[in-house]
Amino acid sequence: MRRRISTAIVVVAATSALMPAQGLPNPDGIELSGSWAARNFTDAIGNMPGGGPRPVDYMGIPLNDGGRAWSLIYSQSQISMPERICDYYAPTYIAIGPMGLRIWPQSELLTGFTTAWMIGGWADFVPITIWMDGRPHPSKYAAHEKSGFTTGVWEDDVLVTYTTHMEAGMIRRNGVPSSDQATMTARFSRHDDVLTITARIDDPTYLTEPYYLTRSFALTRAPLNPATYPCTVTNEGVEAERVPHYNPGQNPFVDELTKLYGIPQEAVLGGAETALPAFRKKIKDKYVQPSKCVSVPASTCGGPGTYPPID
């Protein structure tokens, strides 16, 4: 009898000391579930729906010489090739694409433990899985896939994700390349009903230093479809066995931004220093401010109705 009482004391004390009042512990982190409408103001040019930025616009990207050379031989017609038609759609698309996000947890039914966060709502891309169960990344010899491999942890109520094993793709939708050695660290930081994603892309092949991008989203009651048809290979009429490209020194768009916006070429071609305030001094006497905005495809002047309110 005395033993039973003692055991009961232990059980009650341990329960009161170690468990929250409602039984099972709450999941880690904060709630991210829901539909998040893109507010593409931070990078209105890079995240613009449609064709994306103009062809030779590398401003602010810490490109090395190899990355710049690879960018300059790129022709937008490459994404009409069956082999490359899905090149945009890597996990980096969360930072460079125009879409909103649908986020939901994948939980164990008995314990509620969050095994993964899922992010869908992407156009042309299957939902991305962010593994939260502590599983390791694959071996460095493992195959790289379009979806990459992403794990996540909560750091001070910010979801920090790390993506490896991506295939070669792009970090700007005008052909600025990312290699299969690129990794992405993304921070999902929620404040009230605003979600800001800060992405850091590291790529020893094409970048001299990490490339930081941010995007903001607003929680919306209008549900975004968690899944869409993934990118499908089709025939867009590109001649077989030919890769559309420009030979070195022959990209016809290399001076386009200079003509359209008066921006000197040393800025247009990017590099780490172009992202810093001090760079303005270098171009102050070379920049020619246009007298008025000129709309060109994929770079309109905006105006009323461009960004409708969200529900």
Partner 1 sequence: MESLVRRSRARAFSIAAAGLVIALLAMHRVGQGQGRANQPPPSPRAAAPFDPTGYWSSLITQNWRLRMVPPAKGDYIGIPISAAGKKAADAWDRAKDEAIGNQCKAYGAPGLMNLPTHLGITWQDDSTLRVVTDYGTQTRLLHFGNWTPPEPRKRSRQGNSVAVWASRRGGRGGAPSARYLRITTTDLLSGYLRKNGVPYGENASLLEYVDLFKEPNGAAIVVWTAVVDDPANLETPYVISSQFKKQPDASGWDPTPCSAGW
Among 120, 203, 211, 224, indicate the residue that binds partner 1 (CB under 8 A).
211
Q: How far apart are CA 201 and CA 288, in angstroms?
A: 32
Residue nearer to partner 1 on the CB measure, 136 or 303: 303
By DSSP bridging, strand 176-178 and strand 169-172 are antiparallel
Residue nearer to partner 1 on the CB measure, 144 or 200: 200
Among 59, 128, 176, 207, indicate the residue that binds partner 1 (CB under 8 A).
59
Report the nearest approach of partner 1 to the CB of residue 108 (Å): 23
Q: How far apart are CA 163 and CA 203, in angstroms?
A: 12
Go through 16-33 and write b for each residue having 16 or more CB atoms within 10 A of its CB, e for each that does not: eeeeeeeeeeeeebeebe
Is 2 a binding residue for partner 1 by CB under 8 A? The answer is yes
Is 135 a binding residue for partner 1 by CB under 8 A? The answer is no
Q: Which of residues 174-203 bind partner 1 (CB under 8 A)?
A: 187, 189-192, 194, 196, 198, 200
3-class DSSP assignment, residue 267:
helix
Is 39 a binding residue for partner 1 by CB under 8 A? The answer is yes
Closest by Cα among 186, 184, 221, 231 to 100 = 221
Is 261 a binding residue for partner 1 by CB under 8 A? The answer is yes
List, in sequence order, every residue forming a beta bridge with 103; answer none if it has no partner: 34, 119
Asked if 103 contacts 246 with a C-beta cutoff of 8 angstroms, the reply is no
Report the nearest approach of partner 1 to the CB of residue 224 (Å): 17
Q: What angle do CA 211, 75, 230 make, to 5 degrees?
A: 70
Is 6 a binding residue for partner 1 by CB under 8 A? The answer is yes
Among 177, 267, 269, 271, indicate the residue that binds partner 1 (CB under 8 A).
267
Is 310 a binding residue for partner 1 by CB under 8 A? The answer is yes
Report the nearest approach of partner 1 to the CB of residue 217 (Å): 8
Report the nearest approach of partner 1 to the CB of residue 222 (Å): 14
